[in-house]
């Protein structure tokens, strides 16, 4: 259930970010947002751990900031799989979107999901 909630939250974030970055982030609709969110979650399960292990020395040297680059890479891979319904203009936009998504997901987890778990 938590995985489905995460997919829905990421889909809503995609829609919001696409509205904010109209020129560099394109999303054809909410269905595409759900599809991209689902694809991103699958990539986070399968590809992201491999990328983290391969780039561990760089991640340690940058005190974890390289994880934003890994998140941007998974977003660009999602862009490649989704075709014309989900487009990111460049790698810089992907890094910016990954930073925004990480911060918003952290805030949502700490304020909404964890207090609901304690009850």
Dihedrals φ, ψ of 33, to 5°?
A: -65, -40
Residue range 29-42, pLDDT digits in tens: 999 999 999 999 99
Euclidean distance between CA atoms 97 and 103, whole angstroms: 10
- Mean pLDDT computed over every residue of the chain: 92
Indicate the domain borders of the chain. Answer: 1-113
pLDDT at residue 114 tops 90: no
- Per-residue model confidence (pLDDT) at position 78: 96
Q: Which two tokens stand for residue 73?
A: 């890479």
CA 2 – CA 19 distance, rounded (Å): 26
pLDDT tens-digit map of 78-109: 999 999 999 999 999 999 999 999 999 999 98
pLDDT band at 71; cut points 50, 70, 90: very high
């Amino acid at each position: 259930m938590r995985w489905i909630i995460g997919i829905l939250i990421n889909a809503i974030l995609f829609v919001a970010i696409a509205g904010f970055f109209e020129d560099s982030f394109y999303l054809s609709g909410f269905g595409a947002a759900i599809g991209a969110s689902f694809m991103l979650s699958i990539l986070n399960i399968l590809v992201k751990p491999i990328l983290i292990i391969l780039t561990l020395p760089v991640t340690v040297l940058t005190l974890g900031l390289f994880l934003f680059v890994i998140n941007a890479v998974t977003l660009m891979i999602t862009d490649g799989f989704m075709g014309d319904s989900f487009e990111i203009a460049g790698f810089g936009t992907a890094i910016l979107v990954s930073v925004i998504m990480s911060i918003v997901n952290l805030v949502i987890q700490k304020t909404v999901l964890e207090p609901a778990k304690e009850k």
